[in-house]
Structure 1
Amino acid sequence: MAGQKMLKFTQVSREMPEKRPPNLRKEDFGEIYAEYAREKAAEQASRCSQCGVPYCQTHCPLHNNIPDWLRLTAEGRLQEAYEISQVTNTFPEICGRICPQDRLCEGNCVIEQSGHGTVTIGSVEKYITDTAFEEGWVQPIRPHAERSESVGIIGAGPGGLAAADMLRRQGVQVTVYDRYDRGGGLLTYGIPGFKLEKDIVMQRMAQLEDGGVQFVLNCNVGEDLSFDAIRGKHDAVLIATGVYKTRDLPDSGADGIVDAIDYLTASNRKSFGDDVPEFDSGELNAEGKRIVVIGGGDTAMDCVRTAIRQGAESVKCLYRRDRANMPGSQREVQNAEEEGVEFVWLAAPNGFEGDPVTGVKVQKMRLGAPDATGRQAPELIEGSDYVEGADIVIKALGFEPEDLPKLWGVDGLEVTRWGTVKADFNTGATSLDGVFAAGDIVRGASLVVWAIRDGRDAATAMLEYLGQAATVAAE
């Protein structure tokens, strides 16, 4: 029976959910992809080959049981599909929207390798969980028994929230501390609504709060509350702050040169209806301005597409390598180009003009011999400099960790030479007893799905630590 529903990739073509036309979608911050209808989700799921060695699952950081929930979707057994999906993934509706599936599960789909077009795994994953919320299948967190142990989690981003969810389900008392006024971290303030509408994040926040997770917001650790105070209040602590320090450029202190995280946060706050003076003054608002974004990752894609929606006069993205070598999602590049973004490949900044800024000094590059990472290194083309006019320049060069030991005034917390917290690869245990770390603050700037994986792994290790501590106390 199941076999008849599957293996239809030779008869059914790959089909993404309908994408809103560029002229309409660039007028607002709504998500650009429509939802599958039930029949279309089943049809696309039926294309799965149910291969014996599912590379999609192997290349998913969470090792989601993708073939099984695709089969259940094809059979119309959506509630069961959701239940299997959420066993390994705390936030499948978020991963379905923002994971770079083209580099992970879909990029390793067997039928893609055979030329039939990958299964639309991310879109089906999103559909399953959205349906589960609509149908009331998403159950509230209700532990079988409450435990006396408590855990403090610093950071309400995907890693911290994934750990909070797992710990709370086991009855542990969980308090999450975050510097922002809303939970979600970059899910809330860093990723634009056209990729992840904010009510999707807020419904998970509501589920966690309803399940007994306590949130202490607007809390800057080291200023409003000391790290030692948090450590003294809880039986174990998880550091899941992410990395927020923007990589800088020389001589970039002029007015009009801004950090990507500040620009995106202002836009997202405006979408919430918050009072945002920096936006209203025009400092972080692209309307009517020439925008130049420097960088080639997903954050740069978020910035250029946000600027289009704010009504920029022009939006250009400078990247020092070519299209094939950029780190951002190719799907995002295509979406940006459809919306009117101009990409200037093989171009690097070499200073700025004006204060407030009026232009970026650009050097043209070519790709030379491979560097230590195997990627072709950009080389300067002498005499090719020119000035790209700009009213706002957005630095989207990636993120680095803040100096937490100094910021928090804590002794004994070891960090690596990159500034990330030094933690055990498997457990997340740090150099301080009972203190764990997970997500970008350990691995460096990475994907949301890896933060979720790290948070879940750390929660498992913390449960074992709490169990050992309880045994020692009982003796």
Structure 2
Amino acid sequence: MAKQPMLKFVELERQMPEKREAKVRSNDFKEIYAEFAAERAAEQSSRCSQCGVPYCQSHCPLHNNIPDWLNLTATGRLREAYELSQATNTFPEICGRICPQDRLCEGNCVIEQSGHGTVTIGSVEKYITDTAWENGWVEPPKPLEERPESVGIIGAGPGGLAAADMLRRAGVQVTVYDRYDRAGGLMTYGIPGFKLEKDVVMRRNKQLEDGGVTFRLDCNVGEHISFEEIRQAHGAVIIATGVYKTRELQAPGVGAKGIVKAIDFLTASNRKSFGDTVPEFEDGTLNAEGKNVVVIGGGDTAMDCVRTSIRQGAKSVKCLYRRDRANMPGSQREVANAEEEGVEFVWLSAPKGFVGEKAVEGVMVQKMRLGAPDASGRQSPEIIEGADYIEKADLVIQALGFEPEDLPKLWGQPELQVTRWGTVKADFLTHETPMEDVYAVGDIQRGASLVVWAIRDGREAAEAILNKFDAARAVAAE
């Protein structure tokens, strides 16, 4: 009788890939986790209970076939595991690295709920596709036929690239327009290398280019080319710009030198990792070396900033967040990593203003307590009167989230409808906007969110466009 390859969660404990020591990893921007060895990946995959109702799958925005590719990994059928993973996820090795699994698939694992420790889904997902790259199983899109229809995609982030991949595999002619000199969006310039090394993103960009996707980089819509020109050149247009406008504090002294935006700080750091010349880094404006750094915010961007500051050689790094640890929006795994690396979290604290004459010298901090729940169900922070103090700071990084740019104004398109939050109004199934053959995906439609949601949106929009093209073909053939 064949030995049962799965359901080994009782006899095998949860185990993550080896994590580099904090003192070592905090000196470079390499990823902090090692790769699983083949034997260990199979072993951890075999812990899956193969649920009749897989909550890991239902809580994944892409509804990845997680139990099935865990089974295939446990039984050594890695190429099939990769093909199954790739069937629902355009970039599984990227999601395996940066998805907050503790809030999504792993956080809803049935054996985690039963006290046995979740299956290490993200690490196995990363292992499967990294193995596929090493063995040459990952190939550029090779359409069975070339189609005459073309699609223009504005934005080379995860949503735009996911749509480009799916459309190109169907034979559609695809052109991607992006304001930056490298494709990838926040995967390239926003997320630090210790979470996502840049060659992982660059090889995907090359794969798409080798598959026939045309990239027009350093191309700012509204400046180098008009939105109307793009519409005229293509049968459909996908808006996938992301959201890059920083939410800024409104407080006394906020305009002082030394108070910077998270996106500027992270972009400068990532450009340095590419070997680019970055004047704002060289002159110290966007460089934490030797400084007392205060990061304001509690999301994943704030975690990226504090951990980047440590690696740049900051004298001290503190993170101010107005709620407590249990109520912060960022990944708890990232908080733990930051603490290991020397970041100090100052909970229940909010900035009241800034002090300093020629440049920032400190943050006026007001202490908070949690009161009644707000509309979201989270307890609202309340000011504790008379508990203010000054936190010393040479560099303050605002990581309070992002908002949409005013695209109708920037692009001279007043008919492009937006919501009251400034996001582009579009159907949440097809992603088509009220403008015919214009679609919107990712953060510019749903607001600042996760890479995995952008991938889902991009794939859904591509499917809707293909259905519309096929319907038009059918009508023309009658």
Aligned-residue offset at 1:300? 0.1
Correspondence for 2:458 = 455
1:106 has 2:106 as partner:
yes
Correspondence for 1:232 = 232
- Alpha-carbon distance in structure 2 between the residues aligned to 1:443 and 1:258: 26
After TM superposition, the structure 1 stretch with the greater mean CA deviation from structure 2, 35-44 or 457-466, is 457-466
For 2:444, the aligned partner's letter is I
Deviations 1:58-81 (A, max 9, x none): 000000000000000000111110
* Partner-residue secondary structure (3-state), 1:343: strand
* Partner-residue secondary structure (3-state), 1:468: helix
Alignment counterpart, residue 445 of structure 1, candidates 443, 448, 467: 448
Alignment counterpart, residue 396 of structure 1, candidates 395, 399, 407: 399
Aligned-residue offset at 1:467? 2.2
Correspondence for 2:321 = 319
Alignment counterpart, residue 260 of structure 1, candidates 255, 259, 262: 262
Correspondence for 1:25 = 25
Deviations 1:242-273 (A, max 9, x none): 00000010142111110000000000000000
Q: Give aligned pairs, total.
A: 475
TM-score scaled by length of structure 1? 0.99
* Partner-residue secondary structure (3-state), 1:142: coil
Correspondence for 1:424 = 427
For 1:338, the aligned partner's letter is E
* Partner-residue secondary structure (3-state), 2:30: coil
Aligned-residue offset at 1:470? 3.4
Deviations 1:79-132 (A, max 9, x none): 110010000000000000000000000000000000000000000000000000
- Alpha-carbon distance in structure 2 between the residues aligned to 1:256 and 1:3: 62
- Alpha-carbon distance in structure 1 between the residues aligned to 2:100 and 2:44: 19
Correspondence for 2:436 = 433
- Alpha-carbon distance in structure 1 between the residues aligned to 2:400 and 2:327: 15
* Partner-residue secondary structure (3-state), 2:60: coil
Q: CA RMSD in A?
A: 1.0
* Partner-residue secondary structure (3-state), 1:5: coil
Aligned-residue offset at 1:469? 3.2
Instruction: Provide structure 1 residue ranges, at least 5 long, that are not aligned to the other structure.
Output: none
After TM superposition, the structure 1 stretch with the greater mean CA deviation from structure 2, 348-357 or 375-384, is 348-357
Mapping of residues 12-51 of structure 1, within 5 Å: 12-51=12-51
Aligned-residue offset at 1:141? 1.1
- Alpha-carbon distance in structure 1 between the residues aligned to 2:372 and 2:291: 38
1:332 has 2:358 as partner:
no
1:407 has 2:407 as partner:
no
For 2:152, the aligned partner's letter is G
- Alpha-carbon distance in structure 2 between the residues aligned to 1:105 and 1:466: 34
Q: Would the aligned equivalents of 1:434 and 1:465 in 2 still touch at CA under 8 Å? A: no
- Alpha-carbon distance in structure 2 between the residues aligned to 1:208 and 1:31: 24
Deviations 1:407-448 (A, max 9, x none): 100131110000000001110000111100000001000000
- Alpha-carbon distance in structure 1 between the residues aligned to 2:36 and 2:225: 46
For 1:371, the aligned partner's letter is D
Aligned-residue offset at 1:465? 1.8
* Partner-residue secondary structure (3-state), 2:34: coil
Aligned-residue offset at 1:468? 2.8
Aligned-residue offset at 1:2? 7.7
1:178 has 2:181 as partner:
no
* Partner-residue secondary structure (3-state), 1:175: strand
* Partner-residue secondary structure (3-state), 1:97: helix
- Alpha-carbon distance in structure 1 between the residues aligned to 2:419 and 2:448: 14
Q: Would the aligned equivalents of 1:289 and 1:313 in 2 still touch at CA under 8 Å? A: yes
* Partner-residue secondary structure (3-state), 2:260: strand
Aligned-residue offset at 1:372? 1.1
* Partner-residue secondary structure (3-state), 1:369: strand
Deviations 1:184-241 (A, max 9, x none): 0000000000000000000100000000000000011001100000000001000000
Mapping of residues 326-405 of structure 1, within 5 Å: 326-354=328-356, 355-405=358-408
* Partner-residue secondary structure (3-state), 1:409: coil
1:282 has 2:276 as partner:
no
Q: Would the aligned equivalents of 1:99 and 1:448 in 2 still touch at CA under 8 Å? A: yes
* Partner-residue secondary structure (3-state), 1:366: strand
Correspondence for 1:122 = 122
1:91 has 2:94 as partner:
no
Mapping of residues 61-100 of structure 1, within 5 Å: 61-100=61-100
**Runs of 4+ with >3 A deviation:** 469-475
- Alpha-carbon distance in structure 2 between the residues aligned to 1:139 and 1:72: 21
* Partner-residue secondary structure (3-state), 1:153: strand
For 2:349, the aligned partner's letter is A
- Alpha-carbon distance in structure 2 between the residues aligned to 1:410 and 1:442: 16
* Partner-residue secondary structure (3-state), 1:351: strand
Q: Would the aligned equivalents of 1:2 and 1:71 in 2 still touch at CA under 8 Å? A: no
